[in-house]
Structure 1
Amino acid sequence: MGHGGDVIAELTTDHEEVEELFANIEELPSGDPRRKHYADQATMELVRHSVAEESYLYPAVRKHLPQGSDIADKELQDHAAAERTMKDLESCDAGDPRFDELIIKLMNEIRAHMADEENNLFPRLREACSAEMLNELGDKVRQAKKMAPTRPHPSAPDTPPANKLLAPGVGLVDRLRDAMSGRGKA
């Protein structure tokens, strides 16, 4: 979380980190409790990443890309689907029969979303925006991730200004819950 560089470099590094967590899950046998640990870590990263994209990336997409509103709406739909899957996964232990089904569904949803962003959205954004604007967006995304929730909240607003107003408070509560439960720690 917080790697530096422009928004595209920041978000691509997030994608790589999530993919590494997914690979860790896939390397372990079904039912291994470490799968739940890695799934929790992936969820924490994905929620922070999504909140940052929803707060800053997608508004920029709406403003600077042709058909930007349609693109941003599709990305928000992807986020909503993944967030529902993460919420379902949150209540499953690694030994739960639904865990494997849900983690595979989440990995498929996220991998498709990441590939779409990296192959389509990010190149178009790089063409449409100045290096200075992309760097400013990178700074804003890093700040948003620091304050963002760490647990899925499917019913929370996903567009500004409501998401920017609510995310820090929800994020604080999530981080307190994580600290008390040990969630996301090695």
Structure 2
Amino acid sequence: MGHGGDVIAELTTDHREVDELFEQYEQAAPGGAERKRLLEALTIELVRHSVAEEQHLYPAVREHLEGGGALADKEIADHGRVEQLLKDLEGRAADDLDFDRLVVKLKTEVTAHVKDEETNLFVRLREGCHPFVLESLGEKVRNAKKMAPTRPHPSSPSTPPINKLLAPGLGLVDRARDYVTGRGQ
């Protein structure tokens, strides 16, 4: 899918890509290498997406929406649960007894988060922000995803300014590890 446009279009495109990866995962043979590869692709996409939201979307939610602080905190807590599940899955083989169970739990968390964002947060953002702000946020999110980590780091900070300082370094290390291991290729 093509990326671009305002922050809502950008993040919605990411959501559809994640949906597609979960569908491919479900169609792949249980315990096989294809499921592990698809989980790695899911992990890369979810981590990059989450980091970009935490760096740019949620600060804007806090600034522009009434009750935005509580809303952003809830979304960040959702990310924390997803990132911990990704970390729990990271070292497991696809034929591990808990692998598929954890992926089902991951899908449940991600699906609930996406539904909430698309039916609540994005609607409020569209109503509460000038289109210029949404366009600017879209560009910031796209740029952040280019430098974001590709592996879960559940203990790293999830709010600015610390996350904006650490994420590029973690991203560089993750991309180097991915290159050396062939992960995500």
Matches within 5 A, 1:1-186: 3-185=3-185
Give the aligned CA root-mean-square deviation in angstroms.
1.0
TM-score of the aligned structures, taking structure 1 as reference length:
0.98
Residues in 2 aligned to 1:182 and 1:73: alpha-carbon distance in whole angstroms:
35
SS in 2 for 1:96: coil
- Cα deviation for residue 32 of structure 1 reads 1.7
- Cα deviation for residue 27 of structure 1 reads 0.9
Work out whether residues 2 and 142 of structure 1, in 8 Å CA contact, stay in contact via their aligned partners in 2. Answer: no
Residues in 2 aligned to 1:33 and 1:169: alpha-carbon distance in whole angstroms:
30
SS in 2 for 1:84: helix
From the superposition, tell whether residues 170 and 2 of structure 1 become closer, same or farther in structure 2 (CA, over 3 Å).
Answer: farther
Amino acid at match of 2:55: S
Work out whether residues 52 and 148 of structure 1, in 8 Å CA contact, stay in contact via their aligned partners in 2. Answer: yes
Residues in 2 aligned to 1:145 and 1:49: alpha-carbon distance in whole angstroms:
7
How many equivalent pairs are there?
Answer: 185
Residues in 1 aligned to 2:136 and 2:2: alpha-carbon distance in whole angstroms:
13
TM-score of the aligned structures, taking structure 2 as reference length:
0.98
Amino acid at match of 1:106: L
Work out whether residues 149 and 172 of structure 2, in 8 Å CA contact, stay in contact via their aligned partners in 1. Answer: yes
Q: Mark the runs of 5 or more structure 2 residues left unpaired by the alignment.
A: none
SS in 1 for 2:98: helix
Residues in 1 aligned to 2:119 and 2:179: alpha-carbon distance in whole angstroms:
37
**What's the CA shift string for 1:46-89, capped at 9, x where partnerless?**
00000000000000000111110000000000000000000000
Q: Mark the runs of 5 or more structure 1 residues left unpaired by the alignment.
A: none
SS in 2 for 1:97: coil
Shift >3 Å, 4+ stretches: none
Residues in 1 aligned to 2:108 and 2:30: alpha-carbon distance in whole angstroms:
17
Residues in 2 aligned to 1:184 and 1:92: alpha-carbon distance in whole angstroms:
16
Identical positions, percent: 62
- After alignment, is 113-122 or 27-36 more displaced? 27-36
- Cα deviation for residue 2 of structure 1 reads 7.5
Work out whether residues 2 and 13 of structure 2, in 8 Å CA contact, stay in contact via their aligned partners in 1. Answer: no
